[in-house]
Amino acid sequence: MQQPTLLILAAGMGSRYGGLKQIDTLGPNGETIIDYSMYDARKNGFGKIVFVIRKSIEQDFKEVILNKYQHLIEVDYVLQEIDSLPQGFVCPKDRVKPWGTAHAILMAKDKINTFFAVINGDDFYGNHAFETMSAYLKTLSISKDSDAYSMVAYPLSQTLSENGTVSRGVCSENAEGFLINVKEHTKIQEIDNKIINQNSDGTQTYLNPQTPVSMNFWGFHPSLFNHLENMFIDFLHENIHDIKSEFYIPFAIDDLLKSNKAKVKVLKTKSDWFGVTYQEDRQKVIDIFKEYLKEGIYPTSLW
């Protein structure tokens, strides 16, 4: 089969972080989190990288990210803008936020025709996660496995921030290791040694620390794009005037599962996940990368 493509979502606004996490230098030698993801992807057989960014950071992104990789691997990018809508829809004037992760993926429709993985640009997933995803995608046939999707799951307790609430896709799987459903919880936090989600109606849900969660490391057949096009139109009909509404990929996958249009293999990994949701998370990540260098997990120079 063709080498899989890696789609990196890097258009987020970083409102809670207070800056562009995608180009923040966190490694011992000025590496970004994307640098480590690129290293792990290339090492594990991904043949092309596509970034989703927004117009306002395009120039900085080209200088800091794209120019660095062009001699190493095929690199491309697309723009996610809030006015990138299907024909007949007009973006509300007071909308500021992007339309969400599923919309971001949809922007790459014309750039990808292979099996592909999706990650967040500001999250660290680890080498074993890339190895596991790549190995699974390479078992599939582009002509026979159009409904074969996958995701890398992490235990909820490993994905929290000490500095505030986080959003997570909480997953249920069957005995064969396939996803049953995924529910987005948007205000998860550990309080008094218990993990709690603050629900929109003011109630609380207690969550098991070992609950598998999606950190937006997905594997897809390119058939996903057609599904997302149709689903995004339905989403806009219902939500276009809600300026805070977002078209999340877990919502889309959950709908595809319910309609039997997809099956999602849940892949387990030995890797640790971490990210920089808040500025206060930054030093912890810097310290982890220093330790990885000391232990020889990553080389002094990634390239």
pLDDT at 20: 56
User: In this predicted model, which residue has the larger pLDDT, 18 or 258?
Assistant: 258
**pLDDT of 14:** 47
Buried/exposed 99-120: b ≥16 CB within 10 Å, e otherwise: bbbbbbbbbbeebbebbbbbbb
Mean pLDDT of 213-230: 96
For the chain, what is the domain count?
Answer: 1
Confidence at residue 18, expressed as pLDDT on a 0 to 100 scale: 41
What is the band of 17 on the pLDDT scale with cuts at 50, 70, 90?
very low
Reply yes or no on whether the pLDDT at 21 is more than 70. Answer: no
pTM over 0.95: no
Q: How many CB atoms lie within 10 A of CB 160?
A: 18
Tokens coding 38: 């690129």
Least confident of 21-25, 62-66, 193-197, 225-229: 21-25
Per-residue model confidence (pLDDT) at position 16: 43
* Domain encompassing residue 270: 5-143+214-295
State the Cα–Cα distance between residues 129 and 39, nearest whole angstrom. Answer: 13
* Angstrom distance (rounded) from CA 21 to CA 33: 8
pLDDT above 70 as % of the chain: 95
Q: What's the Cα-to-Cα distance from 123 to each of 84, 138, 239, rounded to whole Å?
A: 25, 24, 28
Indicate the SS3 state at residue 186. Answer: strand
Q: What's the pLDDT score for residue 225? A: 97
Residue 257 lies in a domain: yes
- Domain CATH for 94: 3.90.550.10
* Confidence bin at 1 (pLDDT 50/70/90): low
Helix (H, G, I), strand (E, B) or coil at 275: strand
pLDDT for 183:
84
Does 174 map to a domain? no
- Distance, CA of 293 to CA of 303 (rounded, Å): 14
Per residue in 69-78, pLDDT (tens digit) is 878 899 999 9
Check: CB of residue 187 under 8 Å from CB of residue 228.
no
Range 101-107 average pLDDT: 96
User: Whole-angstrom Cα distance, residue 226 to residue 109?
Assistant: 9
Mean pLDDT of the chain, nearest integer: 91
By mean pLDDT, which of 10-19, 93-102, 172-181 is the weakest? 10-19
Task: Please tell me the predicted confidence (pLDDT) of residue 200.
Answer: 86
Residue 218 included in any domain:
yes
Tell me the pLDDT tens digit for each residue of 133-171: 999 999 999 999 999 999 999 999 999 888 888 888 899
Quick one: pLDDT at residue 105? 97
Report yes or no on 18 lying in a domain: yes
